[in-house]
Amino acid sequence: MNASERVTNHINELVDWRGKTLARLRKLIGEAAPDLNEEWKWNTPVWSCNGNVVAVGAFQDHVKVNFFKGASLDDSHGLFNAGLEAKASRSIDVHEGDAINEAALGDLVRAAVALNSGTPKPKTAATQKKRPTRRKQQ
């Protein structure tokens, strides 16, 4: 089963408002940035482009939209309401009955994609090769 099928199955398993909200968020993210890769990581839907961009997870009383580099985004609409003290990420907790500012969310998604596109993915210790330093001979 590919990632998109897993996301669809996950949404279908959530038969309450959370499933409907997750489906709506998935559609909004896809419309805002059609070139994002939909993935399944950490048992949750994740969209990426040159690194992780946004994840959406269903919890008991809310659905969380997590922007991995949200601290670097301009949230002029004031959508971020969770994880405000985190160094890099910012989140939006959506509770049952909450309205979603779709235009503002789309703006955030596009800004997050632009941020990732302009910033090369950092090398990890496993992918960096250390070059030996040469000592001057005396």
Whole-number Å distance between alpha carbons of 37 and 52:
9
pTM of the entire predicted model: 0.83
pLDDT above 70 coverage of the chain, percent = 86
Domains present along the chain, CATH in parentheses: 3-118 (3.90.1150.200)
Q: Which two three-digit tokens encode residue 132? A: 């030996």
Per-residue pLDDT reduced to its tens digit, 66-76 = 999 999 999 99
Angle at 23 between CA 31 and CA 89, to 5 degrees: 75
Per-residue pLDDT reduced to its tens digit, 36-85 = 999 999 999 999 999 999 999 999 999 999 999 999 999 999 999 999 99
Q: Which two three-digit tokens encode residue 106? A: 């789309």
